[in-house]
Amino acid sequence: MPGFELFGDLERKQVNDVLDNGVLMRYGFDGMRNGHWKAKELEAELQNTFQSKHVQLVSSGTAAVSVALASAGVGAGDEVIMPTFTFVASFEAIMMLGAIPILVDIDDTLCLNPKAVEAAITPKTKAIMVVQMCGSMGNMDALQTIATKHNILLVEDACQAIGGTYKGKPLGSIGDLGCFSFDFVKTITCGEGGAVITNNKEYYINADHYSDHGHDHVGNDRGAETHPFLGYNFRISELHAAVGLAQVKRLPEFLEIQKRNFNILQEALSEIPEVTFRTVPEGGVESGAFFNFFLPNLDTVNKVLQGFKENGIDVCWNYFNNNWHYIKEWNHLKDLKSLFPISKEVTDGLEYLKTKDFSKSDEFISRNISCLIKLSWTEQEVRDRAVKMVKVIKASF
């Protein structure tokens, strides 16, 4: 991670195919394409990759979450349970539909705490959205049990976890709907792009129409298509899909590199008694996109990160004061700083954020260090890096 580090001839060929025929839009202009349909080809590849019956490409991972929820009927006044540790896009995508994000604590998986999820369910709860952060997963059996018990949706945001698996199933394919991002810093990238996956044909058809202004995509005359319901524009372009088509074919290559680098770092840090690792549920396999570990307290974390910086160890950070990924600094959400009026349902529904205690999440995030795994590192570079990391961490105690 990220896939752009290894751009090569395959990506150039796919993009040049699109430029040569001149059709950059994924729909229409059939006669000009010379048989090139990059988005359709990528969807077919992703069906195999994600072991899913249906794939709908969209313009981003954020769009994927909104389209997935909308396709299953989530909307005004509905509550969607989500974690405190994620990207801001999670609550943005929910609120765009007029729904209410209900933030709950994480556990040592760095994903949703099932007990916190159960406690947060109300008659308005329509979906549980587990965000498979930093290449790994939450306790999927427990979350699925809760969703089934209450007859609500289980949606997987697997944007950061492509290539991870749980009991042999790709992350994203376990819930009712799965969401992926292919932005510039993901394991496979389109530059900008995303996907909704599902085995539910109705949800797929809804996602297909909703993401393109409600077009039904029946026949081969775009101007004659009908609009069964309202939709919006979340289309991916053929150029973006072309890059993604090249990258998804290389996913096994990327995952092998990620897991090699991940294993070297984990093996090295395992010798330090004060270092512990995130819990991966039994049957789960991380993608290797990130390497996460815990230290005893925030003071030690800060000391180690300063040592990393001084020793040239990059792409490692702590999320506790990060305003992109953790509830603590999401003041624009807590204060509802919006360019336009927000509905009373959402405003009232978010009142809980003024008093909600997320100290259980603080306990995990404050002690965590997360390191991006680069695809461009050589094995020796990773081994040298691991030696430096161990030295810095030991010196901090």
Active site residue ranges: 186
**H-only helix segments in the chain:** 9-21, 38-49, 61-71, 89-95, 114-120, 140-150, 201-210, 238-249, 251-269, 298-310, 331-334, 344-349, 359-366, 379-395
Alpha carbon of residue 42 to chain centroid: 18
- Which residue in 157, 160, 199, 153 sits closest to 183, CA to CA? 160
What is the spatial distance between Cα 296 and Cα 278, in angstroms, rounded to a whole number? 13
Q: Is there a contact between 180 and 172 (Cβ–Cβ < 8 Å)?
A: yes
Mapped onto helix, strand or coil, the DSSP state of residue 198 is strand
- Provide the residue type at 319 as one letter: Y
Alpha carbon of residue 323 to chain centroid: 17
238: left (phi over 0), alpha (psi -120 to 50) or beta: alpha
Packing angle, helices 38-49 and 9-21, rounded to 10: 140
146: left (phi over 0), alpha (psi -120 to 50) or beta: alpha
Q: Is 168 exposed, middle or buried (0-12, 13-18, 19+ CB in 10 A)?
A: exposed
Q: What is the DSSP letter of 250?
A: T
Q: What are phi and psi of 15, to 5 degrees?
A: -65, -40
Two tokens at 362?
């603080």
Q: Count of CB atoms within 10 A of residue 197's CB?
A: 30
Two tokens at 58?
């969209």
What is the spatial distance between Cα 101 and Cα 117, in angstroms, rounded to a whole number? 12
What is the spatial distance between Cα 371 and Cα 4, in angstroms, rounded to a whole number? 18
- Provide the residue type at 393 as one letter: I
What is the spatial distance between Cα 95 and Cα 76, in angstroms, rounded to a whole number? 9
